[in-house]
Amino acid sequence: MTISMYQASVPVFTRALTALRAILQKGAAHAEARKLDEKILTGSRLFPDMFPLSRQVQIATDQAKGGTARLAGVEVPKYEDTETTFAELIARIDKTLAFIKTVKPEQIDGSEQRQISLPTPVRTLEFKGQDYLLFFVIPNLHFHCTTTYALLRHNGVEVGKLDYLAL
């Protein structure tokens, strides 16, 4: 049995972002219950040179929307990266989920060999579609979702592995 590029991408992105959304909701409830300024949590970092939680969520959504768009050969939606509250971060996830739902399987299937060029501040990364998905997008998406989870857990939010796995 084979798995299509669509099956390996959009459902994976959807599940990860849905779990991330639920984890952020728990973070918001934690802040509210303890009368904490939620920006303490959304601005938290594991180490001073790391991005804060808010940026982790922004990058996770960037991976999902960018991966979907590039594999489908459509324009990547642009977001402003100004979210600082749980509500704003959740809205960003919702906007990303809405976008990826607009892409049809036939737009992504067959993209295994599609040339993907990804400009970075240092250099342009070049990929074939399958390598881009498997070795760049999925690992980055999960890295930033995991880091968000770790930041919330480190700050006392009662989340567990099953929350991360959306089970």
Confirm whether 134 is domain-assigned.
yes
Beta strands in the chain (DSSP E): 115-119, 124-128
CATH number at residue 89: 1.20.120.450
Considering the domain boundaries, does residue 147 fall inside one?
Answer: yes
pLDDT attached to residue 151: 98
Please give the span between the terminal C-alpha atoms of the chain, in angstroms, as a whole number.
Answer: 25
Which residue positions in the chain have pLDDT lower than 50?
none
pLDDT confidence of residue 75: 97
What distance in Å separates the CA atoms of residue 155 and residue 62, rounded to the nearest whole number?
A: 25
**How many domains would you assign to the chain?**
1
Answer whether residue 56 is part of any domain: yes
Inside any domain, residue 5: no
What residues make up the domain containing 115?
12-165
Say whether 160 sits in a helix, a strand or coil. coil
- pLDDT tens-digit series, residues 46-62: 999 999 999 999 999 99
Q: Give the DSSP per-residue string, 71-103.
A: HHTSPPPP------SHHHHHHHHHHHHHHHHHS
pLDDT for residue 89: 98
Is there a domain that residue 119 lies in? yes
Query: Is residue 3 situated within a structural domain?
Result: no
Q: In this structure, is residue 1 part of a structural domain?
A: no
The predicted structure's pLDDT at residue 132: 98
- Report yes or no: 34 and 45 within 8 Å, Cβ to Cβ: no
Q: Supply φ then ψ for residue 116, to 5 degrees.
A: -120, 120
**7 in a domain, yes or no?**
no
User: Which pLDDT score is estimated for 88?
Assistant: 98
pLDDT at 25: 98
Closest CA to 53 of 157, 144, 141: 144
Phi/psi at 71 (5° precision): -65, -35
Residue 1's pLDDT is 72
